[in-house]
Amino acid sequence: MLCLYFDRDPILEKAVKQLANCTWSKTMRCWYLPDTPSTFQQTIDTLRDLAYVDLTKVVDKNKNDHKAITASTYKIRAAAVRPTLITQHENQLNQFISYLRSKRYSSNTIKTYTEALRTFLRFYPEKSSAEISNADIIRFNNEYIIKQKFSSSFQNQVVNALKLFFQVVENRLLDPRLIHRPKQAKVLPNVLSKEEVKLLLEAIQNVKHRAMLSLIYACGLRSGELLVLKPEHIDSKRMILIIKNAKGNKDRIAPLSPKIVEQLRTYYKAFKPKRYLFEGQQAGMPYDARSLQLVLKQALQKAGIKKPVTLHWLRHSYATHLLEAGTDLRYIQEILGHASSKTTEIYTHVSTKSIQNIISHFDTL
């Protein structure tokens, strides 16, 4: 298969959808189509005037390099599609990325801000950044974000990225009073029951796969935190897991149970990782994030769970189950690494401990 990765962009999406047999992969977060000479050439011709296509990760079939082809057919030929910008905008974007890296922003934040800025700057291809005003941002919000029905979180990401971009590149501050921010929706976290978590984990036969998903739930980890763990981060004497450089560049600890420690020992003896606790096919390299998502997807199918579960559901479930077991909210905040207690308080809205004690008047009719 030929796999296409690019930042969110309706113009590119419209062009890609016109390619024959092109399909969106929700799991791999990319567009893919049959890898034939004709479709490959058609793809290049279609995107030629819209974007720069980076083919550095495309496998050369003529070399018969079968080792380069991974277990996932989606990765056989991967092309990164980067929407084109005018030279000034491209240079300023690179300057902004360098600033974010020097300030030690996380790779996810850099990617999110870059995607948002690239989308915004392509909306004004003829304007220099110095000419862009608050009115242009409001117009972009109304004629692009709302018209394309993008989420309120994406709208906030654009505003945050633009405020920092103009402060760094143009040395000017946008007036926050004139920028339209969306009203934040109060969305409850998705949670699995203890029975569903047990069913999910017991459906996994692979020792490594079970250990990964079990540790996410057992310590309330983000998926990115799991993938950068190293064996020395497990302190079995103190029964804690040390999470280094987590969100916000903060370290924290989470309690380990004897059951998860025993499971990790079994895994370690079987796989003997070199550097990271969980490594992929290449020794010394962390396990791939997309592959971890596939592990969850396969486990859900085996367990017969039809809910659209993501890896973050396990973190939400961990926090909710702690709360229902009587754990103080302050401790849960520390374990999860939340900067504000208000973030942790959302789990009180999905905990069923108190709600189940309420007797419905319907039963007394």
249-305, pLDDT tens digit by residue? 789 999 999 999 999 999 999 999 999 999 988 889 999 988 999 999 999 999 999
Q: Is the dihedral of CA 58, 59, 61, 63 positive or negative?
A: positive
Q: Please, which residues have CB within 8 angstroms of residue 292's CB and are 6 or more apart in sequence?
A: 212, 223, 226, 227, 311
Do both 107 and 16 map to the same domain?
A: no
Among candidate residues 118, 222, 316, 321, the one labeled active-site is 222
CATH number, domain with residue 155:
1.10.150.130
Whether 345 and 201 share a structural domain = yes
From the list 244, 247, 252, 290, the catalytic residue is 247
Active site residue 209: no
Which of residues 43, 60, 83 is at a domain's end? 83
User: Quick one: 240 and 225 in the same domain?
Assistant: yes
User: SS3 sequence, 106-137?
Assistant: CHHHHHHHHHHHHHHHHHCCCCCHHHCCHHHH
Query: Do 21 and 35 meet the contact criterion of CB atoms below 8 Å apart?
Result: no
pLDDT at 228: 94
Check whether residue 303 and residue 200 sit in a common domain: yes
Same domain for 58 and 108? Answer: no
The answer to whether residues 238 and 313 belong to one domain is yes
Can you say whether the dihedral through the CA atoms of 304, 305, 306, 309 is positive or negative?
negative
Task: Point out the domain boundary residue: 48, 83, 118.
Answer: 83
Q: Tell me, yes or no, if 347 is annotated catalytic.
A: yes
Closest CA to 8 of 150, 203, 127: 150
Q: Are residues 297 and 337 in the same domain?
A: yes
Q: Quick one: 48 and 97 in the same domain?
A: no
Note whether 224 and 304 are same-domain residues.
Answer: yes
CATH number at residue 264: 1.10.443.10
pLDDT by residue (tens digit) across 177-206? 666 676 666 777 899 999 999 999 999 999
Task: Please indicate, yes or no, whether residues 117 and 102 belong to a single structural domain of this protein.
Answer: yes
- Is residue 274 part of the annotated active site? The answer reads no
Annotated catalytic residue 180: no
Angle between helices 107-123 and 87-102 (to 10 degrees): 160
Of the candidates 210, 315, 316, 321, the residue annotated as catalytic is 315
Q: Is 185 inside any structural domain?
A: no
Report yes or no on 213 lying in a domain: yes
For residue 15, is it within any domain? yes
Residue 276 sits in the same domain as residue 233: yes
Alpha carbon distance 9, 11 (integer Å) = 6
Token couple for 129: 């950044």
Count structural domains, the chain: 3
Distance CA 310, CA 190 (A): 9
Low-confidence residues of the chain, pLDDT below 70?
57-84, 175-180, 182-185, 353-365
Q: Are 312 and 210 found together in one domain?
A: yes
Residue 179: per-residue pLDDT: 67
Q: Which domain holds residue 39?
A: 2-83
Give the model's pLDDT for residue 333: 92
> Which is the catalytic residue, given 32, 267, 276, 347?
347
Domain boundary residue among 104, 136, 170? 170
At 151 the pLDDT is: 80
Question: In sequence order, which residues have a C-beta less than 8 Å from that of residue 207 and are 6 or more positions away?
Answer: 266, 267, 270, 271
